[in-house]
Structure 1
Amino acid sequence: MLQLNIKDETAPLKAVVLGTAQSCGPVPKAHKAYDPKSLEHILAGTYPKEADMVREMEAFAIVFEKYKVKVYRPKVLENVNQIFSRDIAFVIEDTLIHANILPDREEEFQAILHVIAQIDANKIVYPPKEVHVEGGDVMPWKDYIFVGTYTAADYPDFITARTNKAAVDFLANQFPQKKVKSFELRKSNTDAKANALHLDCCFQPIGKDKAILHKNGFLVEEEYEWLVSFFGKENIFEISADEMYQMYSNVFSISPQVVVSEKGFTRLNSWLREQGFTVEEIPYAEIAKQEGLLRCSTLPLIRDYGPIK
């Protein structure tokens, strides 16, 4: 059995589900696009090719192998995009939460049932249908659970609004020992530079006390300022709107010292190295065209917190 254990974003990773780009299907029709960045590339004729995305994901898998991380992959479904495993479920402490995702993506969860079967059934939670939540909006960070949300009355109008107020309340009830801190995110169906699809599109903790952050991803300035105060200005790498669009905040931590990043993120990667991180650079720019990157492609199951003191 898998003993799930996720308390933060950066402790040494032991087991993960990495999505797959195999058989991800034809270029979607414009009206089927889930986000403005995908739409932009569909219309421009620059939507990523399957072979390129498969190559990028294999480069990610090779890094996991290097660090001796146990990697699970979804069962390949024909003509289904299964890259973004973070959307379908997430782990907090020893519990896996089934994400209530866009309804036509439920089959992606079915494709990881061989992993789910290795988890104690009492440690798998299926939220009620009024709870809308995706893993990209949920970040366990020590005593906190950070949650990206959108609670305005026009929530139903945004295909980019994925996590609602009911999800924030649900997580607070599910994990009473944690402080659940929610952040209102900026949403747009049409402008990728003005849309924070998930919390990890404009923020992510790294190392032990640092963070990547984009101010305009947040609708409420006080909530952004809370994060600046929480991590300390000197520990924050602030990214521009263009860098948010390129998905700079969607890197992935294998440990507090090791960050996997896109090889084109030169400004970020230089800063990370200045801070003492080992940066594993891989190509991921084609997958980024779908408004998701490294964190989005992973569903961490187990991180190592050492012996219990």
Structure 2
Amino acid sequence: MHIHVDSETGRLTRVLMARMNDFVLHEPMNEVQQRYYAVDAPRPDRLKAQHQAFAAALAAAGVDIVWAEQRTDTLHQVFVRDIAVVILDTLVVCALRQPLRRNEPRALDGLLERLDAPVARVTEGFVEAGDVMVHGGCLYVGQSPRTDARALDWLRRRFGDRLAVTPLALAPPFIHLDVVFCPVGRDQAIVHAPAFAPEALALLRGRFRCLEVDRREQFGLATNVLSLSPEVVVSPAHQARVNGALRAMGLHVVEVAYDEVAKLGGALRCATCPLCREPVPAAAGQGTIP
């Protein structure tokens, strides 16, 4: 199986997802779960229905879905993004910090047997791929409670000769880069500005035309979208203002209901691990390093 990812927005042709058949509620692991689990806990039937509808939308768009192995010891498996990331031609198997999630990378075993590509396992520190983005010649790495300096150094040694490894420190309580920042289109991004220090925010504003979202929108996962191409983005239907702003920026927005899944603290990007994207032509002016 061929893999290659060098951007967040190149045309998506193959993606890894995980079914939710064995999902059960568990001890809350993030502020969104802490908010909802006590007063409006997500319903398994609605979770599965929304997740299946999202997968159907991807399949209808011509995306080849590879399903991770189902395991009864990985109850949070829906957020398959965190367990692995394709960086250029290499699949990186991540090291998850939360004990409840440590078994999740085992769901990759069947996929690894099919790959015709290098596989690198993180052997130092912790990193979850919600903190990792390849885009415009950069490898952006969120420095968060889930990804530490040792893993950043590992990524720099492994990929620093081909990509500009760019750490972005996150302020509490944000636990992943993709809940506060996501490139879209050719030179745009959705950003929650308060999550970043001034110098990091200046860097992002210098490289992208930023659509900034407020705390309410961020809490509802407005940044956690999935691009199908530089022209098309899939976004949660409940983010009406953001979706309108994306359309005003010239993007075609495919809306899917995902508010029930968002109660878990992740949305569309979290639930997908792109395995293959077509390169975006350099002439498109996409997010190159100044």
TM-score when normalising by structure 1? 0.86
Give the alignment of 1:114-133 within 5 angstroms: 114-120=110-116, 123-128=118-123, 130-133=124-127
- Unpaired runs of 5+ residues, structure 1, are 151-160, 188-194
Residues of 2 paired with 1:221 and 1:146: CA distance? Answer: 16
* Runs of 5+ consecutive residues of structure 2 not aligned to the other structure: 283-290
Task: Please point out which of 143, 148, 166 is paired with 2:137.
Answer: 143
Q: Is 1:51 equivalent to 2:45 in the alignment?
A: yes
Q: Which residue of structure 1 aligns with residue 165 of structure 2?
A: 180
Moved over 3 A (4+): none
Q: 2:128 aligns with which of 126, 129, 134?
A: 134
Number of equivalences = 279
- Which deviates the most, 165-174 or 71-80? 71-80
- Aligned-residue RMSD, C-alpha: 1.7
Indicate conservation of the 8 Å contact 2:13/2:64, yes or no.
yes
- 1:292 and 1:272 map into 2 onto residues whose CA distance is 20
Superposed displacement of residue 264, structure 1 = 1.1
* Equivalence map 1:31-46=2 (5 Å): 32-44=27-39, 46=40
Q: Distance in 1 between the 2:103 and 2:141 partners?
A: 25
* Contact preservation (8 Å) 1:19, 1:74: yes
Partner of 2:288: none
**Length-normalised TM-score, structure 2:** 0.92
**Percent of aligned pairs sharing the same letter:** 31
Pairing 1:202–2:176 present = no
Pair 279,132 (structure 1): closer, same or farther in 2 beyond 3 Å: same
The structure 2 residue matched to 1:76, chosen from 70, 73, 80, is 70
Question: Which of 267, 285, 299 is the matching residue for 2:259?
Answer: 285
C-alpha distance in structure 2 between counterparts of 1:306 and 1:126, whole Å: 27
Report if aligned partners of 2:18, 2:69 keep a CA contact under 8 Å in 1.
no
Distance apart, 1:70 and its partner CA: 0.6
The answer as to 2:154 corresponding to 1:170 is yes
Q: Tell whether the 8 Å contact from 2:182 to 2:224 is kept in structure 1 after alignment.
A: yes
Q: Secondary structure at the match of 1:62?
A: helix
Shift of 1:253: 0.3
Give 1:107 deviation, angstroms. Answer: 2.6
1:226 aligns with 2:220: no
CA contact (8 A) 2:10 2:280 kept: no
SS at match of 1:280: strand
Which residue does the alignment assign to 2:103? 107
Contact kept in structure 2, 1:87 and 1:136, CA below 8 Å: yes
**1:244 counterpart SS class:** helix
Matched, 1:251 2:225: yes
Aligned to 2:286: none
2:102 aligned counterpart, secondary structure: helix
Is residue 269 from structure 1 mapped to residue 243 from structure 2 by the alignment?
yes
8 Å CA contact retained: 2:8, 2:133: yes
Cα shift at 1:197? 1.6
2:84 is aligned with 1:89 = yes
8 A Cα contact 2:92 2:120, kept in partner: yes
1:98 equivalent in structure 2: 93
* 1:247 counterpart letter in structure 2: L
Distance 1:307 1:149, change over 3 A: closer
Provide Cα deviations, 1:32-54, integer angstroms capped at 9, x if missing partner. Answer: 3211211221222x121111111
Evaluate the alpha carbon distance shift between residue 116 and residue 103 of structure 1 in structure 2; reply closer, same or farther with a 3 A threshold: farther
C-alpha contact (below 8 Å) 1:23/1:50 kept by paired residues: no
Post-superposition offset of 1:307: 9.8
Aligned equivalents of 1:135 and 1:87: distance in 2?
4
Measured after TM superposition, the shift of residue 81 of structure 1 is: 2.2
Asked whether the 8 Å contact 1:73–1:112 carries over to 2, the reply is: no
